[in-house]
Each structure stands twice: as structure tokens, then as C-alpha cells.
Structure 1
Amino acid sequence: MQFSDLELDDALCRAAAEIGFSTPTSIQQQAIPVAMEQRDILASAPTGTGKTAAFLLPACQYLLDFPRKIPGQTRVLVLSPTRELALQIFEQAQKITQFTDLHCGCITGGINYGTDRETLAGNLDILIATPGRLFEHIQNEVADCRDIECLILDEADRMLDMGFSAIVNQIASEARWRKQTMLFSATLEGKGVRTFAEEILQEPAEIEAVPSRKEKAKTLQWCHHADDLKHKTALLVHILQEQVTNAVVFVKTRERVQWLKDTLQSKGIESCWLQGEMPQDKRNQALSTFKSGKVKILVATDVAARGIDVPNVSHVINFDMPKKADTYVHRIGRTGRAGAKGVAISLVEAHDVEVLGKVSRYIGEPIKPRMIASLRPKHKAPKIVKKKKKKKTKK
């Protein structure tokens, strides 16, 4: 199948070719025709399988089919949970609309309010925004949602995790005259996303895309057992010096980011860093430096686990294991994107072994240990003792 087979405008097909999209992915093949029927959509697809284009292309097609007669405010609103993801969606929206007269804008936290006002005051077809900042502008009567015809929620499960459900519901209420709502999530498991969808969507078409073998991430996964923090740091330094082209290294706290950055620098390894509550200009600069290849190592907290689309990341390294198994999946999704090969390595101390077991069960495959000859652990990894369920006794 080609993009032209999806009845997309020539300008959009040309843009897709310019971006480097050869053929539609499974989520694009399933979502685009349904979206062009103006039905509400509840969709899930693994990270790195073209989800962004799956909602931007039909939204742009609608705007081209039904051009506005007079200048006005936002017609298509895309809500994103994080600043970085919002900026990436904005960049892709600009590329997709490059051969059209459609106008795109982006507002996120950390940006000057005056810049936001200029964006919102313009003739705007597509707006990508983070929920918190947009709602501030709605409350201050700077943003008007009455012209919104299509509302798109990207990474809905992440929005719920970050506590945005109430704000998103209020924004949806402000855009109550819309004709279509699309909700995209990495997973539809659990009651959270389902309940969220029931509140916002009207008789949605449900799409769960199973990526082809070509689209699936080819990510090798293994772990190294570490005796303590000193041993774990030595393992990381060895891996970064000997095995890695470029890598995202995940840690658990902001304090750990600074400590690890300084530690790597003392070993002659340059890195940039990304964390929460970081000025937006510095966040953008860190990502730009990493994407350009000037610096090969990005140290980050889980703020970067979702949506950071950096081509050809060779390794993801869990210096600290995440608390939840699904966070692990989102972390390693930064490598092996769009069918490329990648490597995910976890550095596991004794207290992480239980989490490692949870992750293995969640992904349905074991994460096998490997050893570096010069850095063998002195102690054996503890075995996980499964707790037996107590039998209920009849009174």
C-alpha cells in the first residue's frame, strides 16, 4: 500500500515522501481511513510505529477538504503530556504541511507567555499544546476553543499518569462543539484509559495495531548484575567507552542526574542531561546537542522516557531500574525505532532483582544476565522467592 492509496491529497503524499515515509505503517493503514470518515478513534500502537503521522495526516486532509472561509483560531488541537513530545509533534506537523497553506503552532510550559499570545492570536489551523499551559490561557481568556473541530489526545496513558485527566476533561468541555476526537495510547490495558475514553469519545472505532515484523523494534535486551553503586558505575563507564555509538542513560532522580553527569565527566565521558523542572531553553538545547551528535550520551530521568524521537539511538541503559514495568518498556522504546536495531542494558543491584522479575513477566521474555570478564560481580544475584498465596479458609 502507498500513501496515495489512502486518498490523501497530493501535497500530503509529497510531504510524506520528503520526510522519508515510503509506505504506511500498520497503525497508519488502519487509523487514517477511519479518521477520514470523521469517526472518533480509540487507538493503541507501540512506540516508534508512526503514530504521530496516523493522526496528523487525516487531520490535515480534513482541513484541506474543508478550508476555513475567514481567519480564526485553532481548528485542530493536539494535546501532548510533555513539552518534548509536543515540540516533536509540532516539528512533524510542519513537515507534513510544508506544501500546503496550513498554519501550525505550539505552546508549552517554560515558554514566554508573550510568545504564546502571538501564536494564539494568529490564523491557526493546528495547535499542539501541553494541557497545563493551554488551560492557563483558557482561564485567562487568551485561548478560545470554540473553533476546534478535531481534538487529538496523544499518549493518553501518560497524561493519566501525570494527573492531567481533570484538565483534559475541562479542555474537552471547552471544545464541546468539535466534530471528532481521537485518543492514542501506547496501551489500552487497565481501567484508566478506558474510563477516560468513555468520558471523551462518542462511539469510537477501536484500533489496536499489531506492527509488522519490519516495523517491530529489534531490541536486544540483557542485564549486568552489580555488587554496589561503585561496581555499577564501573560497568557503565566500560559499556559507554567500549560498546556504545550513542546512548540514553536513565536514572531515578534529578539528584542522580547531576551526580552521574559529574562522575562521567571525571572519567573523560562528556554527556548532556535532561530532567524535570528544567528551563525549556536548556531542555531544548540538551536535546538538540544530543540529536546533532555533538554529544553521544544523554543522562535523563523518566521525563525523557516518552516520545523522545532521536534517530539511531544505539543503546538505552537503565543505570537505575524503574519502579514500574511499563516504564521500562517506554524507556527502551527510545532505541530500536521503526524497525532499526537497538540494545537495552539494565544494571541491576540486589534490590533491583525483584523489579527485573516483574519486567520479564510484563514483556513475556527473560532478561538474561551477561558478564564483562574484568568486572565480574563478587556476589551471586539473589533469587526471587515467590510469595505463596494464602488459601481462604471457610468460617
Structure 2
Amino acid sequence: MFEQFDLDSELLACVKELGYKKPTSIQELVIPKAMTGKDILASAPTGTGKTAAFLLPIAQHLLDYPRTKPGFPRVLILTPTRELAIQIGQDSENMTKLAKIKTGVITGGINYGSHDDILNSTTDILVATPGRLLEYIENEQFDAREVEILILDEADRMLDMGFRETINRIVGEARWRKQTMLFSATLEGAGVIRFAKEVLTEPEFLTSNPSRKEKAKIHQWLHIADDSQHKVNLLLNILKQQEVERAVVFANKRETVQYLSGKLYAEELPCVWLEGKMLQDKRNKAIERFKRGEIKVLVATDVASRGLDIDDISHVINFDLPRKVDIYIHRIGRTGRAGAKGTAISLVEAHDMPVVAKIERYQNERLPRRIIEELRPKHKEARVTSRKAKVKLTTAQKKAKAKKQTKKKLKRVNAKS
């Protein structure tokens, strides 16, 4: 129960009102350590309650050490995308509404004047995307010296998106902070760990092993496609199936998103879409229509693979397979959230098979191949040999292997420094 964490009654009442009954595994690990003031490096699968794991301890810190004078935010949360920033902002307001803690959100894509209230009045928690916040710092409209706790959420994605230098500059501006927490859905590659070593001081390394109830039950398979038109036909067939209640379709390019949106409307399949150059108010409206169930299909680039916090997405469809395994993991994590069942389908051409092999190696299992009889491919699958993909490991072996690999990465990074 959440009472074990010694949270104030206002926070416990909000938690109860939100319907949280029992802490998830990542919350069990992070909250007690975070409340001691230690730096945190945490990894947890998407959809397992990571946001509450850092919001509750920072809210408790603000209650334990009340503000003595007006000023800039005492807690700064950096996120890679606007959608994720907005979602965390909403979660923070819901979780602290009885505690008189003020949350603000700053993102790009919004008129600069919209942030005047946050910049010119007292705000306790600020959720921001790095680019716009750095602009305000450089223009001396925001002062990060009052930040006591810094949260870097989905750090791996921020690094992938090229924010390393921007984040380093913000981290430098907040150098008087007392605590830093870095969260990542995956720790693939040495990049995140090396970056963590630069910004964290003697951190607690926490990796959650979600319970069976928390784990995403995602059924994954792929369809072999001869060419892009074949993929379109497969997509249309899948989206017309009755079991597809709410679906996110991912494409790698904004031009493909626009092309697919037109195709869906031509087939009387209404959809909304998201891509990087959309104005923020249009993006917000698209997501709201999708959330409310007015439209059952969202077509998007990877701008939506993070921060799209909707519990009942039944299907994720990769029209284009991403180039990196971690992006694939984040995409399919939009379905099967909070222990619900979900389906992830990938439409794969011959040139995608090396990525398929990487995904299979990472997951230690082969992705099933399925065929829609009337759209049977003419060409055979392009084979990519992958002995590791055929190895079946037990759950315990997988956990032990992951832990061993992470320790090796940390040891290599420490040796080089």
C-alpha cells in the first residue's frame, strides 16, 4: 500500500482518488530511495507507473521543505516530446491538487506569450521540453539556479533526438540542485549510462521486474510485403477487422503519414495524424479526438511513440519498421498498457529483415509470420540468419542476462573515465 512510503495525507488522498491501489514494482523501488535524497538511475518498461514513481517523492519533498519566498520552480522535469510534457503536467496536477503545489508546462510549438504566467509567477514544478526552456534561459527569462530536484525522463529518447548538448547546458544551469533522477525505458547501448555518469552522483541503480499483472501482454507478429502498395493493402485489410478498436499506425516520414491519411479517408476509414511540424494546438486537438474515441485510428511519426498515455489502444501497426530496436520497443509499448492485452503488427519488406533479426535477438524469440490469404505475398521472405534469435531463454535467464550486461556496461564506462 502507498501508506508504507510515509506520504502526507493530501498525497495519499489524491492517489486514492486516482484509483491507485497497490504500488507497481518501479514505484516500490524508486519512491523509498528517492525520498532519501539519493540520485537515481532507473529503467522500467513503459506503462508500469514510472511517472508516479518520481512525482510522489518530489511532491513530498516540496511539502517537507515549504517555499520561504516566491521564485522560479524548485523541481524541473525534462521530457523529449511535447505530448509527454503535457501528460506529465496533467498527472502532476492530479497528484498534487490537494497539496497546493503549482505545476507549469513549457514546450515548443506554442506562442511565447502563453508561458508568461509560468515565467512571471511562482511555480513549484516545471515540466519542459529542452529546446524551448533553453531559449528562455538564454534570454534570461528563466533562472534554473533555484532547481532543487532535476528529473530527466525518457533520457534515451532525448539523446536519440539530439538533445545531449541542450540538456548538458540546462544541467549546468541547475548545478546547485540537491538531487537528480534519470529514467529510461531501455538502457540499450553505452550512451545512456555514459550520460548518466556525467550528470548523476553516486546514483542508486534500479531496474524493475514488473509482476505478471503489470507486464504488457502484447501479441506480436509480422506480415511480409512485396512492396509499398502491398503494405497499404495489408494495412487497410487489418484496420477494417472488427477487433481493431483503437489503433496507432507508425510511419518513419511525415510524407508517409500524409499519404496514408489520404488513403484511409478514401477507404472511409477516418483518422487523425501527428507529425513533427504540426502546430501544437492541432496536435493537441488530434490527440483529444483520438482519446475521446471520436476517431479510432491515429497515424503518426515517432513524435507520438513517447508520451501517448492512452490505456485502451488495442493495436499498434508499424507501417514502416523503425531502424532501431529501442524505437520498436517504445512504439509497441503504446498498447498492452497497465497489464492489458495488446497487439503489435509489423509490415515488413525485404530490406527490413536485418532489423527484424535485431528485434528477435533482443527479445530472444522469433516474431511469428502471418498471412492474409487474399493478400498472400508473391516473394519469399528474405532470410537473415540469427542463431541468437532462435535461443529460448527462461524468464529467470533473461533477467540474469540483462543484469549481467548492464553491470558490464557500467564497468566499461567506469574504466574509461
TM-score normalised by the chain length of structure 1: 0.95
- Residue 299 of structure 1 aligns to a residue whose secondary structure is strand
Percent of aligned pairs with the same amino acid? 58
- CA–CA distance in structure 1, aligned partners of residues 223 and 189 of structure 2: 32
Distance 1:365 1:318 in 2: 19
Q: Residue in 2 aligned with 1:282?
A: 282
Q: Which residue of 1 aligns with 2:173?
A: 174
2:42 is matched with which residue?
43
**1:155-213: CA deviation from partner (whole Å, max 9, x where unpaired):** 11111111111111111111111111111111233221112111111111111111111
Q: Which residue matches 2:110? A: 111
CA contact (8 A) 2:186 2:326 kept: no
1:382 Cα deviation (Å)?
2.1
Matches within 5 A, 1:10-49: 10-49=9-48
- Structure-2 residue corresponding to 1:141: 140
Counting only pairs closer than 5 Å after superposition, residues 63-78 of structure 1 correspond to structure 2 as 63-78=62-77
Once residues 313 and 305 of structure 1 are traced to their aligned partners in structure 2, the CA distance between those partners, rounded to angstroms, is: 13
In structure 2, the gaps of 5 or more residues are 388-417
Using the TM superposition, give the Cα deviation of residue 385 of structure 1 relative to its aligned residue in structure 2, in angstroms: 5.0
Q: Counterpart amino acid of 1:184?
A: F
Deviations 1:68-88 (A, max 9, x none): 122221000000111111111
**CA contact 2:250–2:302 (8 Å) conserved in 1:** yes
User: In 2, distance between residues paired with 1:232 and 1:113?
Assistant: 41
User: Aligned with 2:344: secondary structure?
Assistant: strand
How many angstroms apart in 2 are the aligned matches of 1:252 and 1:128?
A: 27
Answer yes or no: is the 8 Å Cα contact 1:42–1:182 preserved in 2. yes
Could you tell me whether the CA contact under 8 Å between 1:4 and 1:10 is conserved in 2?
no
State whether residues 79 and 128 of structure 2, in contact with CA within 8 Å, keep that contact through their aligned partners in structure 1. yes
CA contact (8 A) 2:289 2:295 kept: yes
Compare 258-267 and 351-360 and name the one that shifted more.
351-360
Task: Give SS of 1:285's match.
Answer: helix
Whole-Å separation in 2 of the counterparts to 1:222 and 1:375: 16
Q: Which amino acid aligns with 1:43?
A: A
Pick closer, same or farther for the CA change 1:386–1:3 going to 2, 3 Å: closer
CA shift digits 1:218-265 (9 cap, x unpaired): 000011112222222111111111131010000110000000000111
RMSD: 1.3
Cα separation, 2, equivalents of 1:230 and 1:188:
36
Corresponding residue SS for 1:127: strand
- Preserved CA contact (<8 Å) 1:146 1:175: yes
1:391 matched residue in structure 2: none
Indicate the residue corresponding to 1:98 in structure 2: 97
Q: Distance in 1 between matches of 2:189 and 2:76?
A: 26
Secondary structure of 1:322's aligned partner? coil
Partners of 1:143 and 1:247 in 2: CA distance: 39
Flag as ranges the 4+ runs of structure 1 deviating above 3 A.
none
SS at match of 2:244: coil
Distance 1:205 1:381 in 2: 45
**What CA distance in whole angstroms lies between the structure 2 residues aligned with 1:22 and 1:60?**
19
Distance 1:129 1:369 in 2: 41
What is the alpha-carbon distance in structure 1 between the residues aligned to residue 230 and residue 193 of structure 2? 43
**In structure 2, how many angstroms separate the alpha carbons of the residues matched to 1:189 and 1:229?**
30
Partner of 2:415: none
Q: Which amino acid aligns with 1:7?
A: D
Bigger shift: residues 10-19 or 252-261? 10-19
Deviation at 1:386, TM superposition (A): 6.6
State how far apart, in whole Å, the 2-side matches of 1:300 and 1:115 are: 26
**1:107-256 mapped onto 2 (5 Å cutoff):** 107-242=106-241, 243-256=243-256
Deviations 1:286-339 (A, max 9, x none): 111111110000000111112211121000001111111111111100000111
Counterparts in 2 of 1:338-357, with a 5 A limit? Answer: 338-357=338-357
Further displaced range: 190-199 or 82-91: 190-199
The range that moved more, 376-385 or 11-20, is 376-385
| Cα distance in structure 2, aligned partners of 1:109 and 1:333 | 25
Secondary structure of the residue aligned to 1:224 is strand
Moved more, 103-112 or 16-25: 16-25
Secondary structure at the residue paired with 2:146? coil
Deviation readout 1:318-363 (Å, 9 max, x if unpaired):
1111111111111100000111100000111222222212211122
Unaligned runs of 5+ in 1: 388-395
Letter in 1 for 2:367: I
- What is residue 390 of structure 1 aligned with on the other side? none
